[in-house]
Chains A and B, each alone.
Chain A
Amino acid sequence: MLPLLLLLVTAPGAPGLTSIDYVPTLTNRTLGGRTTASTFVLEQPRCVFGDAQRGAQIWLVVALAAAADRFDASAAPGTPQLAFQTFPNNTAYATLGTALANYPCPPRPGDITVLRVGSETACRDDPERPSCNGPLPGPGPYRVKFVAWNQSGPQAETQWSEPITLKIGRAPCCRRLPAQRRDWSLLQLWPGLQPSPCARQSRGTAARRDCTHSCTEQSHGVIARGGCTRDCTAGSHGRLHVRLHGMIARAGSVLPGWGSPSGPGPPSFPPVSPPAQQADNLPVMAGGRSTGMIVLTSLLSILFAILLACLVALLATWSSDSCGSGVIFSKPDAVTVKRYNTHHVYDQPAARL
């Protein structure tokens, strides 16, 4: 055994290690969680390994794209060199080890042939579980490959995948944020933690709907009713920072293992999608006034103005107290005038009162 291992160590890519011409990819299925901030989903390696690797265990090796070249297959999975807990200080880690029989070829119809990388959170900090399928510590980029190991060492390996980059959540409030890669060791970003790349926004008319400038370090609630200023003041900066680290540590140990056990259960995701770190942020200002509102306001104002004018005119004429002008509307009792017709006027038209 020892000479064999030495042979493998001194001669990487030695004849004992078959190279399989297969490039792992993210799943082809349309899945909402194809890549998230700390997980991605790969296609399972069905019909990739042949009978020669029947007795071996197929492991997934994950490495940072920049360090992929330094990966040495002679280290066995389950050892500290390939432990998840020390990643990325070590070059790579191995996880999701399973027998070849769990990747039947051809796939049964109706099977969802995916592997979710990063689904186990309970063992994230547990050194007793070096093959933990823990969430990835940053956006990457990562490269993966499948390696078949048995008791005598690595038997076969696939090619490295294309670089897989995970999503980065950006702060929702600052406008025109310059494209900036955040420190991915702080996995969860919180607007209060936002370093000052948020440009100072003009206060403008300080409409209370305008939350765009509320998340700069300089804004401290000058806006009269800005509901979003409170969260982003510099005063809360340090406090949030410290608490966040504590929460990450707590979350890793406390959360129950939601992820599926390491095995070909969950579907895998296809290759990397570009990170969400565009500069554009959410403009929160209301758009221009709608036509309906303008029409309504102007018509109502005109009508009200006319009414007020009429009232003023009315009161003015009333106070000047002119009597007898115009027709008089009196009580419903009509005033009747009697006309006395003499016999001279029979042929006159009837009197109309």
Chain B
Amino acid sequence: MAKDDNSVRIFQGLLVLGNVVIGMCGIALTAECIFFVSDPHGLYPLLEAAENDDIYAAAWIGVFVGFALFSLSVLGIIGVIKSNKTLLLVYIILMLIIYAFEMASCITAATHRDFLTPNPFLKQMLERYQKLEADNNNDKRMSEEVTKTWNNLMLQNQCCGVHGPSDWQKYASAFRSMYSDADYPWPHQCCVMDARGSPVNLDGCKLGVPGYYNSNGCYDAISGPMNRQAWGVAWFGFAILCWTFWVLLGTMFYWSRIEY
């Protein structure tokens, strides 16, 4: 009957459209997650040293899930057009597996976003920045990475410490045990630098004269990119999954109505 024929075609068209959107979103998810994994802001060592780098694990999962979504959407389109029960069953089952992975990625990213408060970073900075002695090679490497990351952070963002230079005064730290307070009330990376990378006025910096040292904290420079990453992975993944939910339901319905 023409009416059924039309409705069949419309339904197929909808499913194909749904799968096309899933495919494109999968590519976008892969691209977004590759961007995050490449760590453009150089903040990964901080999370790695805190052993809390699950945001990056979520992004890695996102890379593969995105690609799998693209592949499966192609499979789905073929299955819907051919109305092949086997293909569609494979499609449904694989999609559910990918769905579960993407769910894990989203929840991980959202959960570990809650870790991003100033105190863990402050504690890590105080314990590892410029720490020379180490228990083992791994510890040494992490301390070096943290030191390098903080130096870059403070120089590039013109900031100092997590809350400000007072962090180095208020708390005992590895830095304080290495460098005397009189010469280094805070690291020299907190000083305003000239074009050649040396402090404009070292005495002014040590005294804390406004204009010769950076009195703002680096926490915004850390939490901004990390928040964007966590929320980007979590909510974009969530949106894809919502859409995929409907496409899968439709596909299951379609599958149940196919006659061999």
Contact = CB atoms under 8 A, between A and B. Distances in A.
A257 to B, nearest CB: 9
Given A228-B127, A282-B123, A303-B241, A287 B117 contact: yes
Contacts of A38: 180-182
B165 A32 contact: yes
Nearest to A117: B182
A255 B111 CA distance: 46
B186 to A, nearest CB: 8
B248 interface: yes
For A276, A286, A301, the residue with the greatest tally of chain B CB atoms inside 10 Å of its CB is A286
Contacts of A297: 107, 110-111
A124 to B, nearest CB: 9
Which bracket fits the contact residues of B? 35 or more
B250 to A, nearest CB: 11
Interface string B25-63: 000000000000000000000000111100000000000
A297 B212 CA distance: 47
Interface string A92-126: 00000000000000000000101010111100000
B153 to A, nearest CB: 18
Contacts, number: 235
B92 A311 contact: yes
Interface string A320-353: 0001001111111011000000000000000011
Contacts of A32: 165-166, 185-186, 207-210, 213, 215
A251 to B, nearest CB: 5
Interface residues of A, number: 91
B171 A353 contact: no
- Looking at chain A's contact residues, is the secondary structure mostly helix, strand, loop, or mixed? loop
B110 A328 contact: no
Interface stretch (B16-24, B65-73, B95-103, B218-226): B95-103
Interface of B: 1-5, 8-9, 11, 49-52, 83, 92-93, 96, 99-100, 103, 106-107, 110-111, 113-115, 117, 119-120, 122-124, 126-127, 133, 135, 139, 165-166, 169-174, 176-183, 185-186, 202-203, 206-210, 213, 215, 231, 234-235, 238, 241-242, 245, 248-249, 252, 254-259
A36 interface: yes
B199 to A, nearest CB: 11
Q: Pick from A252, A288, A332 the residue with the most CB of B within 10 Å.
A: A332
A300 interface: yes
B126 A172 contact: yes
B183 A172 contact: no
A131 to B, nearest CB: 16
Interface stretch (A4-12, A151-159, A183-191): A183-191
A247 interface: yes
B114 A228 contact: no
28 contacts: A32-B185, A32-B213, A41-B207, A135-B182, A167-B169, A169-B172, A172-B126, A211-B120, A230-B135, A230-B139, A236-B135, A247-B178, A258-B202, A259-B182, A265-B203, A267-B209, A288-B114, A289-B111, A293-B107, A293-B234, A299-B238, A300-B241, A308-B96, A323-B259, A328-B259, A330-B83, A330-B259, A334-B1
Contacts of B3: 352
B257 A329 contact: yes
Interface in A275-290: 276, 282-284, 286-290
A247 B177 contact: yes
A171 B171 contact: yes
Nearest to A243: B133
Contact of A334 (B5, B106, B241): B5
A112 B209 contact: yes
Contacts of B179: 251
A211 B119 CA distance: 10
Contacts of B209: 29, 31-32, 112, 267
A31 B213 CA distance: 10
Nearest to A337: B1
Contacts of B235: 296
Contacts of B254: 329
A170 interface: yes
B248 A334 contact: no
B103 A314 contact: no
A300 B238 contact: yes
